[in-house]
């Protein structure tokens, strides 16, 4: 198994700052916007963006939530392990709001489809956008594309994209893991 470094700490942080700027460009003061991190890994990215928006752009009161999509997934009983849920923190109203869904890696699009269904349980948003750090293009099973994008990669099916966060792994980095040459 080999790890190939895709993005190092500096690159990850440049991208995060750019994504924060792009969000500001569209959402202005975020008065009608809600940032929603998809649990578990999208939540870390969402928290990071929220802290950049607070520190660099003085936007401290952005509504946000962390959405657990476990029970909305369509691969229940089709995978080996039981899907286990994460904490769902949705103390925000999505009715009539502009939602930005945030996840770390966009691969088949099935998680995002589940997240779209899950959001329905909380109301009817006016618009939903998608932000992902990594977009594994050419591997989509559903017609879902990101509106804000960190980096596109052409990883093949045997490869896995690993996102490391300072909070959890001690460093910010993105690796491509090749599982075939074990």
Partner 1 sequence: MSKLSVSHLLGIKYLTPSDIELIFETASHFKEVINRPIKKVPSLRDVTIANLFFENSTRTKLSFELAQKRLSADVINFSASNSSVKKGESLIDTVNNILSMKVDMVVMRHPNPGASMFLSKHVNASIVNAGDGAHEHPTQALLDCFSIQERLGDVSGKKVLIVGDVLHSRVALSNIFALKKLGAEVKVCGPLTLMPKHIETLGVTVETKLKKALAWADVANVLRVQFERMRKSYFPSNREYAMQYGISKEVLRDIDKEILIMHPGPINRGVEISSDVADSENAIILDQVENGVAVRMATLYLLASKL
Q: Where on the chain is the footprint of partner 1 (CB under 8 A)? A: 68, 70-74, 76-77, 81-85, 88, 117, 120-123
Q: What is the DSSP string of 33-73?
A: EEEEEETTHHHHHHHHHHHHHHHHH-----EEEEE--GGG-
Q: Which is nearer to partner 1, 125 or 146 (CB)?
A: 125
- Residue 73 CB, shortest distance to partner 1, in Å, is 8
For partner 1, give the closer residue by CB, 65 or 150: 65
Query: What ranges make up the beta strands (E) of the chain?
Result: 2-7, 33-38, 63-67, 98-106, 127-136, 148-153, 159-164, 173-178
Pick 2 or 121: Cβ nearer partner 1: 121
- Which residues, listed in sequence order, are joined to residue 176 by a DSSP beta bridge? 4, 161
Residue 83 C-beta: closest distance to partner 1, Å:
7
Q: Please, what is the minimum distance in Å from the beta carbon of residue 7 to partner 1?
A: 30
> Least distance (Å) from partner 1 to the CB of residue 24?
31
């Amino acid at each position: 198994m080999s790890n190939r470094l895709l993005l190092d700490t500096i690159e990850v942080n440049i991208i995060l700052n750019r994504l924060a700027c792009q969000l500001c460009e569209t959402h202005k003061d975020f008065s009608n916007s809600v940032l929603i991190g998809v649990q578990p890994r999208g939540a870390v990215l969402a928290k990071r963006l929220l802290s950049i928006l607070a520190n660099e752009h003085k936007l401290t009161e952005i509504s946000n939530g962390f959405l657990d999509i476990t029970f909305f997934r369509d691969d229940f009983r089709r995978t080996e392990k039981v899907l286990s849920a994460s904490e769902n923190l949705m103390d925000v109203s999505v009715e009539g709001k502009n939602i930005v869904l945030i996840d770390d890696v966009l691969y088949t699009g099935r998680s995002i489809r589940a997240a779209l269904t899950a959001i329905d349980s909380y109301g009817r948003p006016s618009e939903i956008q998608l932000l992902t750090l990594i977009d594994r293009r050419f591997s989509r099973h559903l017609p879902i594309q990101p509106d804000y994008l960190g980096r596109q990669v052409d990883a093949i099916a045997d490869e896995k994209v690993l996102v490391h966060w300072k909070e959890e792994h001690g460093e910010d980095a993105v690796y491509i893991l090749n599982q075939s040459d074990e």
